[in-house]
Structure 1
Amino acid sequence: MAVASFVLGLLGLLVLNVVLGPVSVVLAAVALWRGTSRPGRAWLGMALGVADLVVLAVAMQLSHTVSWSL
């Protein structure tokens, strides 16, 4: 789950960040709660998931719309 959180968080920076960001955060939280053997990867996945949501919020504010594109 930690690796999946990291990959989805990284992918979420480019596409579907409104979906992949929260999924990444939830997967990281579950991985940490279960005691993963890769806590660094889980924390990185959580940080990337939060970054996905921050990028979405900033892009929405700059474009004055609910969606954004590159």
Structure 2
Amino acid sequence: MHLTAPARRPTGLRDADGMAVASFVLGLLGLLVLNVVLGPLALALACTALRRGTARRGRACLGLALGAADLLVLAAFLQADHTLSWSF
């Protein structure tokens, strides 16, 4: 009896999937804290994951949307009180 190893996904695709998940998580966190840093980072990771052909396209698209929302929230707070920081 000959056992074969399970098919492995290419490393680049696994990295792209990880980037998609990371962009989603960072975009979500960016809505609460450090949106000036986490928003652009979520956008960059989502774009890179989509460009590399991730299997988790939905997460990458959500990361892209949340990263953009982070920057919109930042712009709204900048307009409201003219500072880069905000508090409740």
TM-score interval, smaller chain? over 0.9
CA distance in 2, matches of 1:20, 1:66: 14
Asked which structure has the greater CA Rg, the reply is 2
CA RMSD of aligned residues (A): 0.8
1:10 partnered with 2:32:
no
Give unpaired runs (5+ residues) of structure 1.
Answer: none
Report deviation, 1:69. 2.0
CA distance in 2, matches of 1:20, 1:65: 17
Spell out the pairing of 1:25-64 with structure 2 (5 A cutoff). 25-64=43-82
Deviations, residues 43-65 of structure 1 (Å, cap 9, x unaligned): 00000000000000001111122
Q: Secondary structure of 1:66's partner?
A: coil
CA distance in 1, matches of 2:72, 2:85: 13
Q: Secondary structure of 2:58's partner?
A: helix
8 A contact 2:20–2:60 mirrored in 1: yes
Give unpaired runs (5+ residues) of structure 2.
Answer: 1-18
With structure 2 as the length reference, what TM-score do the two structures score?
0.76
AA at the equivalent of 1:67: S
AA at the equivalent of 1:13: L
